[in-house]
Amino acid sequence: MHIAMAASEAIPFAKTGGLADVCGTLPVQLSRIGHSCSLFLPAYRGAKRVAANLTDTHISFVVDMAGKPMTAHVLKTQIPNSQVDVYLIDQPHYFDRDHLYGDAHGDFRDNCERFSFFARGVVEAIHRLQLPVDIIHCHDWQSGLVPAYQRVGYRGFPWYSQAASLMTIHNLAYQGRFWGADMPLTGLDWRYFNWQQMEFYGDLNMLKTGIAFADMVTTVSPSYAREIQSPAEGCGLDGVLRSKANRLVGIVNGVDYSVWDPMHDPHIAQRYGVSDWKSGKEACKRDLQAQMQLPLREEVPLIGLIGRLAEQKGWGLVIPLLERWVEEHDVQWVILGNGEPRYAHALEEIARRHPERVAARLEFSDPLAHRIEAGCDLFLMPSRYEPCGLNQLYSLRYGSVPVVHAIGGLIDTVCNTTEETLQHGTATGFAFTKYDLESLEICLLKGVELYSRNPELWSKLVHAGMTQDWSWSKSAESYLATYQRARELAAIEGRL
């Protein structure tokens, strides 16, 4: 099978979040098990800078952007240490910028034009490269127009009748919603601007477009797939998602264990595995405490948090929890992340007043993220909603017991500690259901008390988490089954 993927970011070329990890890792895994993969990305300034052996395919074409002719050039590289070809759709007017989607002033005002051009460039490039595509796999709103082009036969490319389409939603909150007058930028007829396909309360909605036209839709965990069909979590698209319920699948993201595994992690003080995790984590904890200028106290529980400082990630609960716990509980906190100033200022002030208990780095550092996963005892992820989440999966592997809100990918991957799950040996963490401060505090206190008072049971939690397999091999097999289902549905409809 030949899978072509279209996305706005992928490691190592461009990254703002988990989307990049998926799009840089899934095609490599699919390639390793015998399938051909091609990846299409915008030719951002940073992507061209990091691409090794970047070559010009000498393929170029003009895209009519609502009466403005814009030339696209197709560049080629590969994902490092793989057989996956990467094609960069190059147009400096759109992509030669310091950032992917916006700057300090907000989103770029021409994002609709930029990613309409990218989507049209993808379908043109596949045609001109003569790729034998079986599946076109599109990720998030930035490539949401591609399934529409294929389904309506835009430009009449032969590959349309050979491929089925898959649309993956990584975070439903980001939809690519633009004013309706931007519709001509898509190159599609106004008749598709209707409530069932592209229109959304008078606006153009690119994610809705992808959902409506794709043969299959996936999101990044089974629970999130159910949640987004409800008005509470559907972000206005619950109706269109319910209409596609028999074509909607949740597949948990995988972990690249070549990068995230304490047995061979170059960033941590001492490497360790299931058999020697106690000594390994003790060494890593001392190292983390020293680096973050916390007192070197082996007995005190060390809680880690990593992530974007945003309401979605639960900081509206974490800040008041911290304010209370620094006064009442003998625990240490290590926090890494950046984002909204209101949370950053609050963390700075708490850390300033209680340097013996709270250490915060308001930045992003990949090496420090690895050290936190290895050095902390508990890892807190109280997200209000979480499509999948990756840090809880890293935490399981590193023996840092996760404490999570029981939603989305978090509850799909962390088994709450109860008498029954302890007895069965399936408990891997702690989860709270009601999203409020009291529930979070009760749940976290359970984790801290078990760590401090019952080392034997704590060891069982750590062992159960470290021995789980959340690798990409399992996720890749689920995607392959979904690709096959998409092709079966397209064939039933007479399009293959």
Do 400 and 345 share a domain, yes or no? yes
Domain shared by 483 and 425, yes or no:
no
Q: What is the CATH number of the domain that holds 247?
A: 3.40.50.2000
Closest by CA to 60, choosing from 70, 45, 50, is: 70
Residues 69 and 198 in one domain: yes
Both 11 and 130 in one domain: the answer is yes
pLDDT at 213: 98
Instruction: Tell me, yes or no, whether 247 and 288 share the same domain.
Output: no
- pLDDT for the residue numbered 216: 98
Residue 333: partners with Cβ closer than 8 Å, 6 or more residues away: 302, 303, 304, 305, 322, 357, 358, 359, 360
- Sequence-separated (6 or more) residues with CB below 8 Å from residue 63: 69, 70, 71, 72, 117, 120, 121, 124, 187
Determine the structural domain holding residue 404 and report its residue range: 277-469
Q: Where are the alpha helices (DSSP H) in 222-276?
A: 222-227, 238-243
pLDDT at 18: 85
Dist CA 49 CA 52 (whole Å): 8
* Sign of the alpha-carbon dihedral angle for 88, 92, 93, 97: positive
Report how far apart, in Å, the C-alpha atoms of 351 and of each of 308, 315, 322, 326, 369 are: 18, 15, 10, 10, 18
Helix (H, G, I), strand (E, B) or coil at 299: coil
Give CA separation, 307 vs 37, 107, 135, 335, 343, in Å.
31, 21, 33, 8, 12
Do residues 430 and 480 both lie within one domain?
no
Judgement on whether residues 457 and 480 belong to the same structural domain of the protein: no
Q: Do residue 224 and residue 299 come from a single domain?
A: no
d(CA 197, CA 382): 35
Instruction: Report how far residue 486's alpha carbon sits from residue 496's, in angstroms, rounded to the nearest whole number.
Output: 11
Question: What is the tally of structural domains in the chain?
Answer: 2
What's the pLDDT at 17? 83
Burial-class residue 245 by CB neighbours within 10 Å (0-12, 13-18, 19+). exposed
What residues in the chain have per-residue pLDDT under 70? none
266: in domain: no
